[in-house]
Structure 1
């Protein structure tokens, strides 16, 4: 059996069309988009075309609301730190959740430690959902920013962002969502969602690594986090990564065209995988909700086993999966997400995340289940 890749939540392969679209921008259309000469103007036009494609992917009305970044982590940092600093005279209270990506949590820690902001972390229920009423109850007169991820990168919980963002809007509070995981899995419409800031990363939807974007609704002020030139309408200094931006734009076009087909296939594969797991194993637990879940996410625990041992054995059988998120890979401690949902110890240390892609097949799932049966049986015999 060839290598089976079930770690698409960590990264996805760049689509062939994306690679082809990028090639001319290495040595043909290579001028700096900020230059005024003709080659520079040609490069600038390509950059703006890419910006337009990303805007269309998320339903932004204006392409200038898209700020290119070096990835989702930088987009989160710019959103949190930039908005907080720009609005600090109005208040210094930020609300987020305890299950956010570390790019959000660490940005909040920075604001708290170095700039005196107060951070409230909302808890979640056993399936990872935020309670909108709890959000309402924690809003203060000095609350200036709320950040809740659109869907969890570990357990796949899809948050009620539209409802949560409506609470923020009713109270005239800026709302940010880390939407890195939902791009390529769910339809995104920033206006329907009521969000003011939204983070994306191209390599999560078959684009290149090293490029991301932050949607910044018109009228939202940010303090730039990278100082220098006036690129990105003075919101992010540095020579534009034109080649990667073109790749992200092409990936956005592909997603926009094929999203319904992709969602249908992912949902079918996910449903089949989960049913096969529960048909073949005792003492397992699906972490996160069965409904309102990312269609690519299957996070499963095997009672009283160790995730690292399972992953090592899967790897020996050419199967790639993950324990928790890629950002926490290598850590033997239980992830902050699993702790927050109250997963019992006998299940928490054995959580394995399988994340599906459009290229995966039922035959691959059958192979994975078969190998898992052999692995789990062997590991249990060693106890």
Structure 2
């Protein structure tokens, strides 16, 4: 069985590189290979110009200026640079703001920074609760916000349950307290219109492989007025205003810029609407199967247009995925840390018990997903559930 025969429903884990984006990248692996930081010859100028163009494309996509775009290796590095960079800079300046807030459903690349901030830099890190749909409890966030809060970090679109936060409303609550607002927007380009998004935030993280670009590249938007408060995590050069030194990978930067332009186009907006319609059809078909099922997270119109987080009562999500191999690719709702399976922190945060959290399966659709693939997936999932029902006590 080759990859083209496997039904792919894991687009929130990674997207393929779109053909038009790959075509933009290819010349910079061969013909235009020069170091973009070689300032003494024309080939270096050409690579540097390609980087500048990519930064401008990303800036246009989110409503920023190109000098506010810092290229990174991906969203994990962007999140670390945002949180650790600001905290280190603040500590060096002796700031009295010693508290950091982050939502309890953040990606691990944000949550895992918390203990480092506490143990190495003396910050107090507190989590903001969410409701059963995954929305920030605004009253609780407002209660936590005081003049000693340095940073608030809230993701735009959740990677497991697809909930889309109202960043505009949250920003209006945060701004009066003068805290820095960071947003992990890795899942946002596929989920929402990003036009002028940065007017609500001070820092924003992006990841190439979540938006039809290449792996190994991401970006961190840092508003111009904040950049002198960020301490770099690595040292060795003055590239990118000294905030993230090192030779930039020209083909990957070009790919991220092209991906930003691609997802900011009217054609992508239409594809996003079509994606939502296909997702809604898939959800209706899943819920119509003769098995007790529940959709986890926000209503379909208020979540990532390709996201389905669903649990079938009495059956483990990983067992379903195991039976589906090698015919269908999707993800369970569980995280695995140090080889020890444990319930997803996102699903537990929205109030699910262990059995419910363990039942979760995330099916995520992309622009390429067809109605035929959905029909085939429904048949496979139904057969998997029937097979599991024959070998266990779970019921319809």
TM normalised by structure 2 equals 0.93
* More displaced stretch, 361-370 vs 319-328: 319-328
1:304 pairs, out of 314, 325, 349, with 314
After TM superposition, give the deviation of residue 267 of structure 1 in Å.
Answer: 0.7
2:49 pairs, out of 45, 48, 66, with 45
* More displaced stretch, 355-364 vs 165-174: 165-174
Paired residues of 1:328 and 1:335 also in contact (CA < 8 A): no
After TM superposition, give the deviation of residue 320 of structure 1 in Å.
Answer: 0.5
Question: 1:121 corresponds to which residue?
Answer: 127
Q: Does 1:243 align with 2:243?
A: no
Paired residues of 1:161 and 1:193 also in contact (CA < 8 A): no
Q: Does 1:177 align with 2:187?
A: no
* More displaced stretch, 108-117 vs 84-93: 84-93
Question: 1:134 corresponds to which residue?
Answer: 140
Equivalence map 1:90-101=2 (5 Å): 90-101=96-107
Write the distance in 2 (CA, Å) between the matches of 1:190 and 1:327.
36
After TM superposition, give the deviation of residue 130 of structure 1 in Å.
Answer: 0.5
Question: 2:284 corresponds to which residue?
Answer: 275
Paired residues of 1:207 and 1:248 also in contact (CA < 8 A): yes
Write the distance in 1 (CA, Å) between the matches of 2:334 and 2:237.
35
Write the distance in 1 (CA, Å) between the matches of 2:268 and 2:302.
17
Q: What SS does structure 2 have at the residue aligned with 1:358?
A: coil
* More displaced stretch, 142-151 vs 23-32: 23-32
* More displaced stretch, 326-335 vs 62-71: 326-335
After TM superposition, give the deviation of residue 141 of structure 1 in Å.
Answer: 2.1
Q: Does 1:75 align with 2:78?
A: yes
Write the distance in 1 (CA, Å) between the matches of 2:100 and 2:5.
47
After TM superposition, give the deviation of residue 333 of structure 1 in Å.
Answer: 1.6
Write the distance in 2 (CA, Å) between the matches of 1:210 and 1:329.
23
Q: What SS does structure 2 have at the residue aligned with 1:146?
A: strand
Question: 1:59 corresponds to which residue?
Answer: 63
Question: 1:216 corresponds to which residue?
Answer: 222
Q: What SS does structure 2 have at the residue aligned with 1:349?
A: helix
After TM superposition, give the deviation of residue 87 of structure 1 in Å.
Answer: 2.4
Q: What SS does structure 2 have at the residue aligned with 1:8?
A: coil
Write the distance in 2 (CA, Å) between the matches of 1:327 and 1:73.
17
Paired residues of 1:10 and 1:326 also in contact (CA < 8 A): no
1:353 pairs, out of 359, 362, 366, with 362
Aligned length: 381
Q: What SS does structure 2 have at the residue aligned with 1:176?
A: strand
Which consecutive unaligned segments of at least 5 residues does structure 1 have?
none
Q: What SS does structure 2 have at the residue aligned with 1:114?
A: helix
Q: What SS does structure 2 have at the residue aligned with 1:199?
A: strand
Write the distance in 1 (CA, Å) between the matches of 2:85 and 2:222.
11
Write the distance in 2 (CA, Å) between the matches of 1:329 and 1:106.
13
Paired residues of 2:335 and 2:344 also in contact (CA < 8 A): no
After TM superposition, give the deviation of residue 9 of structure 1 in Å.
Answer: 0.4
User: CA-to-partner distance for each residue in 1:92-126, whole Å, 9 max, x for gaps?
Assistant: 11011111000000112211111111001011111
TM normalised by structure 1 equals 0.96
1:10 pairs, out of 6, 10, 13, with 13
1:337 pairs, out of 339, 343, 346, with 346
* More displaced stretch, 182-191 vs 30-39: 182-191
CA RMSD of aligned residues (A): 1.7
Equivalence map 1:186-265=2 (5 Å): 186-191=192-197, 193-220=199-226, 221-257=229-265, 258-265=267-274
Describe the shift of the 1:278–1:235 C-alpha distance in structure 2 as closer, same or farther (beyond 3 A).
same
Paired residues of 1:146 and 1:174 also in contact (CA < 8 A): yes
Which consecutive unaligned segments of at least 5 residues does structure 2 have?
none
Write the distance in 2 (CA, Å) between the matches of 1:378 and 1:120.
44
After TM superposition, give the deviation of residue 327 of structure 1 in Å.
Answer: 7.8
Q: What SS does structure 2 have at the residue aligned with 1:144?
A: strand
After TM superposition, give the deviation of residue 184 of structure 1 in Å.
Answer: 2.5
Write the distance in 1 (CA, Å) between the matches of 2:283 and 2:391.
26
Write the distance in 1 (CA, Å) between the matches of 2:76 and 2:196.
19
Write the distance in 2 (CA, Å) between the matches of 1:192 and 1:19.
27
